[in-house]
Amino acid sequence: MTFANVGTLGVQPGKAEELVAILTRCNPEMEQAGCLVYEVGVSQDQPDTVCVVELWESAEAHRASLQLPSVQAAIGEARPLLTGEMGGYRFEVAGSPLRD
């Protein structure tokens, strides 16, 4: 069943663009691991919060992706930019009006 992870990451003031650059770097390994969608953005209302929307083939695929060397490297690079404030939701997708 498809798995969604929608999250927010608090970043140090003025560091959102730097985090977005890290998170949007091309990474073919993620698609190979089962990532269907990975979108990153920043709301003008909260410029020090980065939003991430992920859609995966399964929760297991998402968990496994966190062990990829490229993902571990990105996490290590991003960590100093984060404030520790995180939010969001994880859920199994029940359906969509855009597909059968």
Higher pLDDT, residue 53 or 98 = 53
How high is the mean pLDDT of the chain?
96
Q: Please compute the mean of the pLDDT values over residues 49-62 and round it to a whole number.
A: 97
Query: What single string gives the DSSP state of each residue in 4-27?
Result: EEEEEEEE-TT-HHHHHHHHTS--
CA-closest candidate to residue 19, choices 49, 64, 57, 54 = 49
Phi, psi torsion values for 66, nearest 5 degrees: -65, -15
* pLDDT at residue 100, rounded to an integer: 77
Share of the chain above pLDDT 90, in %: 94
* pLDDT at residue 1, rounded to an integer: 79
